[in-house]
C-alpha cells in the first residue's frame, strides 16, 4: 500500500507538528478566507478521513514557496503577492500596512524538508508545518525594493485605495480591485501612520535578490 503525502498550505493556521487526531480537533473553518485556502481545508479533512480507514497519510503545510536559490524561477502570475508588488511598483505607491507579514521559503528548503520527513516511518498520521523562521514584514519589503531602485512611496491605506480607483487593466492590481476595494478589506485597516521602518530588518536577502533578479529578467517588473 502506497503512502499518501498531501501538500496543503500554511494558511490553515496551525503551526505545530500534530497527530491527526489532535490536528482534526484544532482545524477550524473560521477565518479561512478565499477559495484556495478553503479547498485545502476540505482536502485536509478528506486526508484525515482516509487515514482513519487505514491509508498511510501525511499532511505538509508549507508557507509561500518561492523559486530555487540557483535560478529564482517561479510562476509569478499565480502568486497574489507578486501581482500586488508589481501593481504597487506600476502605481508608485504601496499601502503602509504595519501588521502584514509574509512567510516565504525557497522551493529547495521545502522539497528537502518534505523528502526528509516523508522517508521516516513515524511521519504517518501527522501534519507538518513547513515555515520560515524569518517573517518578511511588508514595510521592510517595500524599503528593500526602494533600495533596489524601485520608486514606491508608502501611504495610508485609505489614500492607496483612492489611488486604486484610478487604475485600469494595464495595472497588475486591476484583477484584484474587488479584494482591496471591498468593504471587508481587513488588510487596509492595519496601518502605521508614522511610516517608520527599521533599517536592520531580518530577511533572506539571498532569496529576495535571486527572486527579483528573475522577475527582472522576464520583464515581469522593471525599475
Q: Is the pTM of this model over 0.75?
A: yes
Residue 206 CA to residue 202 CA, distance in Å, equals: 12
- For the chain, 223 residues long, give each residue's pLDDT as a single digit of tens: 788 999 988 765 556 667 777 766 666 666 666 777 788 888 888 888 888 899 999 999 898 899 999 999 999 887 889 999 999 999 999 999 988 988 888 999 999 999 999 999 889 988 898 888 888 899 999 999 999 999 999 999 999 999 999 999 999 999 999 989 975 454 544 444 333 333 444 568 889 999 999 999 999 999 8
Nearest Cα neighbor of 144 from 189, 52, 206 is 206
Tell me the CATH architecture of domain 4-217: 3-Layer(aba) Sandwich (3.40)
What does the domain layout of the chain look like in residue ranges?
4-217
Amino acid at each position: 500500500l502506497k503512502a499518501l503525502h498531501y501538500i496543503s498550505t500554511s494558511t490553515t493556521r496551525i503551526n505545530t507538528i500534530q497527530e491527526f487526531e489532535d490536528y482534526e480537533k484544532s482545524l477550524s473553518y473560521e477565518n479561512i478566507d478565499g477559495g484556495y485556502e478553503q479547498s485545502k481545508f476540505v482536502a485536509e479533512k478528506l486526508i484525515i478521513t482516509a487515514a482513519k480507514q487505514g491509508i498511510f497519510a501525511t499532511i505538509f503545510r508549507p508557507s509561500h514557496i518561492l523559486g530555487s536559490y540557483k535560478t529564482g524561477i517561479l510562476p509569478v502570475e499565480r502568486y497574489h503577492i507578486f501581482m500586488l508588488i508589481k501593481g504597487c511598483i506600476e502605481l508608485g505607491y504601496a499601502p503602509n500596512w504595519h501588521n502584514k507579514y509574509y512567510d516565504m521559503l525557497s522551493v529547495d528548503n521545502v522539497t528537502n524538508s518534505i523528502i526528509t520527513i516523508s522517508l521516516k516511518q513515524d511521519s504517518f498520521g501527522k501534519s507538518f508545518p513547513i515555515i520560515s523562521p524569518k517573517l518578511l514584514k511588508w514595510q521592510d519589503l517595500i524599503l528593500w525594493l526602494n533600495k533596489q531602485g524601485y520608486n514606491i512611496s508608502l501611504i495610508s491605506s485609505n489614500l492607496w485605495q483612492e489611488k486604486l480607483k484610478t487604475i485600469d487593466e494595464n495595472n497588475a492590481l486591476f484583477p484584484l480591485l474587488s479584494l482591496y476595494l471591498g468593504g471587508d478589506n481587513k488588510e487596509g485597516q492595519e496601518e502605521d501612520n508614522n511610516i517608520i521602518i527599521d533599517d536592520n530588518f531580518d530577511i533572506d536577502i539571498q532569496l529576495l535578490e535571486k527572486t527579483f533578479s528573475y522577475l527582472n529578467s522576464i520583464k515581469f517588473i522593471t525599475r
